[in-house]
Amino acid sequence: MSEKKKIGLIRVLTTPDQELLQLHGRMIESCFPGLSVESRCIADQDEGIHDEASHAKALPKVLALGRAFADENVDAVYISCAGDPGVGILQRELAVPVVGAGTATAHVASAYGVSVGVLGITDDVPEEIAKILGGRIVGSLRPPQIHTTLDLFRPDAMDALAEAGCALKSKGAKLLLLACTGLATINAAPELRRRVGLPVLDPLRCAATCLWTALC
């Protein structure tokens, strides 16, 4: 058995709750025992990234964390946000591989070659995801009552997401892409797969599989 590969994971939701902070890392480690994850979050973003202003505010903090991880000799840096703040910059700058949740998921979606429905927490498709998938996106929906990743913990969130997923299916989507890693936090993919009847891409799993295939 070879040594585990160390991933530096960046959360863009500020939290003092250690369990919540570690959750994405633990999910990756449970799926891929060859990966070992250290998680850190940026400061002062209690609602994460959910619009242009919160994205801009997060960017320098994400870059600083990514550079710090690289200085500590991680094997890869992973930015656990479908908005991909700083991903392109860090990919050009760092010597270690860098993966972002949104870009990873959009590229994995491209492998299917079919029409994609984007389900998330923002009115617009995150910019990098839109660039990668282009005309393959048949629609994008945010359930009306969900504005930030915290709203995903509401008891009616799954019903609202399934309804949006069905609407995207009726618009011609053959695959659903979850455009917020908060949807991984609540493990929405298996339930949506059952209720909507389409393959569903979870951004945390997509990023984890990209890391696993290249490193392990």
Interface with a copy of itself (CB under 8 A):
2, 76, 87-88, 91-92, 97-100, 103-104, 107-108, 110-114, 132, 174-175, 190, 193, 199-202, 205-207, 209-210, 212-216
> Which residue number, 54 or 212, has a Cβ lying nearer to a copy of itself?
212
> Which residue number, 45 or 138, has a Cβ lying nearer to a copy of itself?
138
Q: How far is the CB of 122 from a copy of itself (least distance, A)?
A: 21
> Which residue number, 151 or 204, has a Cβ lying nearer to a copy of itself?
204
Distance CA 47, CA 165 (A): 24
Reported for 152-155, long-range contacts at CB under 8 A and 24+ positions apart, including other chains, are 152/121, 152/180, 152/182, 152/183, 152/185, 152/186, 152/188, 153/186
> Which residue number, 97 or 147, has a Cβ lying nearer to a copy of itself?
97
Distance CA 107, CA 202 (A): 12
Q: How far is the CB of 47 from a copy of itself (least distance, A)?
A: 27
Q: How far is the CB of 107 from a copy of itself (least distance, A)?
A: 4
Distance CA 177, CA 201 (A): 5
> Which residue number, 15 or 112, has a Cβ lying nearer to a copy of itself?
112
Q: 153, 167, 84, 165: which is closest to 120 by C-alpha?
A: 165
Helix, coil or strand: residue 197: coil
Q: How far is the CB of 196 from a copy of itself (least distance, A)?
A: 13
Distance CA 198, CA 98 (A): 29
Q: How far is the CB of 77 from a copy of itself (least distance, A)?
A: 11
